[in-house]
Structure 1
Amino acid sequence: MNKPLNEVLLVDDNEADNFLHRAVLEDMGVADRIVERLNGQEALDYLLTPDDQGRFPSPDLICLDINMPIMSGWEFLDSYEQLPPERRRGVVVMMLTTSLNPEDAELARERSVIGAFSNKPLTSTKVLQLIEEHFPGRS
């Protein structure tokens, strides 16, 4: 498979989950770069910090946990949605959680910024479905 994604941002406070999700993505060879942040605030800081040439990070996919310390996934989304639309264009946010609370799934359906909602772990099947649905022609 060609690498359909330039960058994936994993946002999860569980380092074991990040390790597993990175391994799935690397084994599939779907992204040029995989970045990990341990909570919503770290992820937001990452997205708001330009590189040496003044360019801001622009992941194609953000895999976002819900329950994290410092800033939850929902709080991250509240701030993320305040970014200029051009900074969010083309970015797919996938809620990836262990939450079995049906309210979380309902809240996710109500947020247009969320492109997918899934229970952990991230699997190759889930990645392929996501790419086919949100990045057609890139696989």
Structure 2
Amino acid sequence: MNLAFIIIDDSELDCFIAKKIIQQNDKSIMVATYTDAIAALRQINDNTDMHSDLLTIILLDLRLPIMSGFEFVEEFERLPLSIRNRYVIYVLSSSMNRNDKSRVDSNENIVKMMDKPLTKAAFETIVTEVVAGKR
């Protein structure tokens, strides 16, 4: 299975860490980072025909300026199913808020919430789950 990653986090350090972990484990995986959820959403919407054979895993922070992670998911849900089916969303957050966890758990477009920053073990779990089809 061909995989790619999109990291959406306003912390450049967390983006850097996640990208490094992904590339250290598999240099062939394409990784795009965004500190702005609106720019990431625009890119997803604009590249509807590019890399249609790739399944892209989105690592999404919840606390973002301008457009929060939850607002990103709401906008993502408005995209055509043909686009949405090519993406899997995991939330990476340092939030301990029960309401956030509950909202994530109840959203069918989010696989699960994991602690940030991304670790090698979390990366391996995500890839294993996605490849096994547990998304």
Q: TM-score, normalised by structure 2?
A: 0.88
Say what the alpha-carbon RMSD is for the aligned residues: 1.9
Q: Which residue of 66, 80, 83 maps to 1:87?
A: 83
Letter matched to residue 127 of structure 2: I
Q: 1:124 to 1:56 in 2, by over 3 A?
A: same
Cα distance in structure 2, aligned partners of 1:104 and 1:30: 33
Cα distance in structure 2, aligned partners of 1:95 and 1:6: 17
**Which structure 1 residue ranges, 5 or more long, are not aligned?**
none
Indicate yes or no: 2:63 matched with 1:67: yes
Indicate yes or no: 2:41 matched with 1:44: yes
Cα distance in structure 2, aligned partners of 1:98 and 1:57: 31
Paired residue for 1:136? 132
Paired residue for 1:102? 98
Paired residue for 1:55? 49
Q: Helix, strand or coil for the counterpart of 1:107?
A: helix
Q: What displacement does 1:130 show?
A: 1.4
Q: What displacement does 1:136 show?
A: 2.0
Aligned residues with identical type, % of pairs: 26
Q: Which residue of 11, 14, 19 maps to 1:14?
A: 11
Paired residue for 1:27? 24
Q: TM-score, normalised by structure 1?
A: 0.86
Q: What displacement does 1:97 show?
A: 0.6
Cα distance in structure 2, aligned partners of 1:113 and 1:31: 26
Q: How many residues align?
A: 131
